């Protein structure tokens, strides 16, 4: 590992998000968290509780300007037919000012959890933004140049 340079810090604005090959131009924020599932290991004669990792779970939120009803239509499809939709996505970070290069993360099995269908407010001068939580089945870094 080389010496850290301040200019290699990545700007949060240099990201793009694609769902099933279509760029979400109206997305303004994407967060994904991978959590370890752990069980507690308690042993006689040991005062500290140990922990054993037994798996992983992925969940996140995409925030977008309300410009389409695409996610609402996915929810309606499940409501009307019982067929749930799982999508694949690519999150790309490409800050040209950073020396890190392009970072791509493939997300598979994206399934939206909830959606606000109507969000009107006569007292607001802001535009409508939707925060859409989701879970994923898997993730993989693609073409990562600076790996461990």
Does any domain span residue 1? no
Does any domain span residue 109? yes
Does any domain span residue 9? no
Number of H helices, E strands in the chain: 1, 8
Q: Which sign does the torsion angle of CA 130, 23, 92, 138 carry?
A: positive
Total structural domains within the chain: 1
Does any domain span residue 79? yes
Does any domain span residue 93? yes
Full domain range(s) for residue 32: 17-142
Q: Which CATH number belongs to the domain containing residue 24 in this structure? A: 2.30.110
Does any domain span residue 89? yes
Does any domain span residue 24? yes
- Cα separation, 138 vs 57, in Å, equals 9
The answer to whether 30 and 103 are in contact (CB under 8 A) is no
- Cα separation, 20 vs 110, in Å, equals 10
Measure CA 21 to chain center: 16
Closest CA to 57 of 113, 141, 133, 138: 138
Does any domain span residue 42? yes
Residue by residue, pLDDT tens for the chain (148 residues) are 567 778 878 777 888 899 998 888 888 999 999 999 999 999 999 999 999 999 999 999 999 998 888 899 999 999 999 999 999 999 998 878 777 778 899 999 999 999 999 888 888 888 899 999 999 999 999 976 555 5
């Amino acid at each position: 590992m080389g010496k850290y340079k301040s200019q290699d810090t990545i700007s949060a604005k240099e990201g793009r998000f694609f769902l099933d090959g279509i760029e979400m131009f109206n997305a303004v924020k994407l967060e994904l968290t991978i959590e370890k599932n752990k069980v507690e290991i308690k042993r006689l004669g040991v005062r500290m509780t140990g922990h054993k990792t037994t798996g992983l779970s992925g969940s996140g939120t995409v925030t977008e300007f309300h410009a389409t009803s695409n996610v609402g239509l996915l929810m309606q499809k499940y409501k009307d037919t019982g067929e749930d939709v799982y999508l694949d996505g690519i999150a790309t970070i490409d800050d040209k000012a950073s020396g890190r290069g392009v970072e791509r993360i493939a997300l598979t099995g994206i399934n939206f959890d909830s959606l606000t269908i109507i969000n009107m407010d006569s007292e607001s001068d802001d535009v409508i933004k939707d925060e859409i939580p989701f879970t994923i089945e898997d993730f993989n870094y693609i073409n990562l140049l600076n790996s461990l």
